[in-house]
Structure 1
Amino acid sequence: MTPPEIISMASKDGQDSTPRRHSLSDECDTNSTADEKRLVAKLDFYIIPLVMVLYLFSFLDRVNIGNARLYGLEEDLDLSSSQFQVAVSILFVTYLLFEVPSNLVLKLFTPRRWIAFIAAAWGIIATLTGLVNSYGALIACRLLLGAVEAGLFPGLTVYLTFFYTKRELALRVGYLFVSAAVAGALGGLLAYGIGHMDGLHGMSGWRWIMIIEGIPSFLLGVVTYFALPNDAETAYFLDENERALMRLRHAREYGNTASSREFSKKDMMCAFKDWKVWAFCVAQFGVDTMLYGFSTFLPTIIRDLGDWTVAETQLLTVPCYFLGAAAYMSTAFLSDKLQQRGLFCVIFGVISVVGYAVLLADVSSGVHYFGCFLVAGGLYVVVGLPLAWLPTNSPRYGKRTTGTGMQLTWGNAAGIMSAFI
């Protein structure tokens, strides 16, 4: 539905009787800013918590293999160090293959159904990973986990563009990265608690970690099917006035034409031919190499800094992740407010590189631990902001979904390499 154009006339005693046409931006400015703020707050209340929890459990189930390593995974399955590295990285093979296709069918199956299926499927696979008894079975589960999880983050990123403007998106994508940081911290705490179940019913602690962290994801998929709206028109929590305002906001951002809101092969090819999309892809590969290595091996890095117990190692990972979450949220807020992405990416990219340099330097354990904070504080910003930067500059749906899928495919290709660095 195309919003009607507003035509105003001067009053009878006015000087000018010429019709004046107001642009959509004029109409939205005239439309109460307070109404729009209330609308955004309502979107945040109903959409963001579910989206955050989805990505939190996704990230948790993907990287908990690092915590499982501390609770007997390698010993139980008789894995060598290189086999463990393959098990970590093999997930990203199917992740890469299915990322773009999954994003392209998002509208075909509708976000509610597709995202619910993804969550339920990965929950089942993550839970079954706790029952494997061989290296081959572990590899099979990791490949399946990568295939079903591939569409979640790019799908959620595109899904958020259905509701938020480019001035609001970085902070909302930031909530996903906060979820990742919280998952890292929560993973350590959960592993510490669940680890005490070691030996219960004859199963090792790592098996309980996989099972207990996997079951909620399946239940979350069921909740998502009923709670996640496909778009503003089907959002049960919006009234007709709010839906009209959503249409105005969307037209202001992406235009009025129906074709801009639908997938087309022409728009898809535009993404493949755009050098700027490829530049984002290469950059994402670089920063994600650091992120996946850091997220998966932080428990191992901290364990090697001193004579720590497993419990102490898990607890020492928590502050690093919370700093990463705080750094991203504050930076995303400023980025949206100032509409500046590149400068923040450069600054925090330098901070993360300095952090890695500290980890490599011949210094005390305390200084090495400080380096972990620098890496966390810089990484989440430099990984997250570009994921809001690219889609907000791709107004047509086909190019937006393809470009975002490409960007994340390249980024997650780093997950294959990072395990061996």
Structure 2
Amino acid sequence: MSAPGSAPATAPAPAPATAPVIVAARRTPIGTAGGVLRDLAADELAAPVLRALLADAGLTTVDDVLLGNVFGPGGNTARADALRAGLAAGVPGLTVDRQCASGLAAITVAAALIRAGEGEAYLAGGVESASTAPHRLWRTDPPQAYTRAPFAPAELGDPEMGEAADLVAAEAGISRERQDRFALRSHERAVAARAAGRFDDELVEVAGVRRDQRPRAGFTAARLARFRPAFTENGTATAANSCGVSDGAAAVLIVSERVRRERNLPGLRLVVSATSGCDPRRLGLGVVPALREVLEYGTPQVTEFTEAFAGQALACLDAAGLDEETVNRDGGAIALGHPWGASGAVLAVRLFAQLVRQGRGGSGLTALSAGGGLGVAALWQAVGPDGEPVPPGGAR
């Protein structure tokens, strides 16, 4: 866990030169696996995003590129993406795998490197091309299809994600009706945000694709109620109140306060981050301890939380005392899709768009659970070009 130093309430100390600040944030449109981005490999998705970030901040290089990836070809995806983006051969690359939390983990690792003085500018985020991920086989006789990595030793419990989501929702008392309402709200908000153009400035066009593929109008509570359980016989998770497997990339440019100040840029300053784990049989709750840690440092005005499954997301929000109505104001992964390695970074991009680009100010939370019973959460504060916190509403 990382945390800021204390300061007198009447005269807050200036942020240290090594305080990490996001000064640019971009993503590709999110496409359904097998859909509009199906022909683009991971490096072809991420490279345009990395180039756009450098252009946004007027930088030509960084100290390193850190990208989350879950199911790609291996071979250090981040390094291939950095080279594809046109960065010099001297810029290395680090691929992070914390499963669905990989994109946000890459950002918090970059922040830790800045605080440690290892460097001052990093491109960090994640990418996933489920459509082009190679087929794999277990070396059995006969060979068997490899569908996913083991999240935990089988004897400790290694359920499928949908099965675990049903268990978590049942134990938390999250009804099917509440899950469907949450999913419907996600779609309605995403459709409205897309129509209003609230995604436009954060998107980087790739292969002629300019908007997210998945959000759809026309869902109703009655229609969602007709979907059958998708994972267990009497479960409450369905294809309609769960996320979709997706392709996409998202990343941020995170720099030291010294670099931010030198370039007079507004941004999102990291207040605190935490990573946690839980019983792998209840993997959807992995972020709850991390959420409780970071929320000790303040109450966010905006929360971006990955909706892998409605019931699982609601169980986490309830456990942390967060109001579901205030979460994902422009829709979440149920509507937009879940490009595994990129999803945590999508949260940071969305938060930057709202607090900085749209000028709302205040503080924001990014958080999600991941396979194996893991979770990452981070609390951020909007700051102006002068480095001072921007209060909610954007006025000072």
TM-score, scaled relative to structure 2: 0.30
Higher normalized helix content (fraction of residues): 1
Higher normalized strand content (fraction of residues): 2
